[in-house]
Amino acid sequence: MRKALGKGIDALISRVQENDIGGQNVKKIPLENIIPNRLQPRQDFDEEAIKELAASIKKHGLAQPIIVQETGEGKYEIIAGERRFRAFKYLGLPHIEAIVRKNMEDEKKLALALIENLQRENLNPVERALAYKKLMSDYGMNQTEAAEFCGKSKYVVSNAIRLLELDEEMINSLRGGGMDEGHARALLGVPDKAERKRIFERIISEKLSVRDVEALAKTFHKPSNRKKRSDSQKDPEVSQAEAELERALGAKVEIIPGPDSRVGKIILHYYSLEDFDRIVFKLKN
């Protein structure tokens, strides 16, 4: 049901993008009667981007009506198109064209706002993570269901939500553009929080690149000298199997035989979420 609902929302957005709105209730609504979507996943609006959109609307007109829902007493709540609404307000225009939807459930409104932003307005990584988390917490979805609902892979959703494991200072920096998503993912590969904070401070003060941070994160996963000594005593057949797996997967592999030769462990090492996704993809395919 959720999967079908997601497809229905995608179809609606697609029709609006293509101006295929026949049969929809489109009307001009005074801006003073429109209120923002309380479920809007976008929390930060770039004023310069709004001004650029306003200039485009002033020159070319509104290419796509916004989508609203009647709330009673002549008021309408935005479901999709808050940037366009803000651009109209900036221009001082009194009315805006809108597709009016009736009796849309909160779940559908959140998904429509989320999907529109994900497809067209580029939520920042923190907003995207919080939107997925809200969809899951408010509607009892797990990551797989949320991914299907939004037409994304489970790994996209899980990787997004994992960014919220960072300290508040780092999350705020990611939200504000002080560091980008690549830096944040690399920081998650640093298990020690104190060291993670030191590296974060270097990102800000020294303008470290994502590659620099990934290299620093990898130093926390190097084997100890004791491990290297035990490797020299490893069965040649086990070492050969490790080498073959490493060539096939492009990842560090450890085979640890158990006390019984018929059992043991295979450990795959990854150093970023992108690295994890790549290994999983290879294993599945």
Please identify every residue annotated as catalytic: 82
- CA torsion 166→172→178→180, rounded to 10°? 50
Checking DSSP bridges between strand 34-35 and strand 75-80, what pairing results, if any?
parallel
H/E element holding 90? helix 82-91
Percentages (nearest 5) of helix, strand, coil residues in the chain: 60, 15, 25
CB 25 within 8 A of CB 99: yes
SS3 22: coil
Tokens of 188: 């998650």
SS3 192: coil
- Provide the sign of the torsion angle of the four alpha carbons 232, 233, 235, 238, taken in this order: negative
Q: What is the largest CA-CA distance in the chain?
A: 79
CB atoms within 10 A of CB 180: 15
Give dist(CA 150, CA 107) in Å, integer. Answer: 12
Helical packing angle, 2-17 and 106-116, nearest 10°: 50
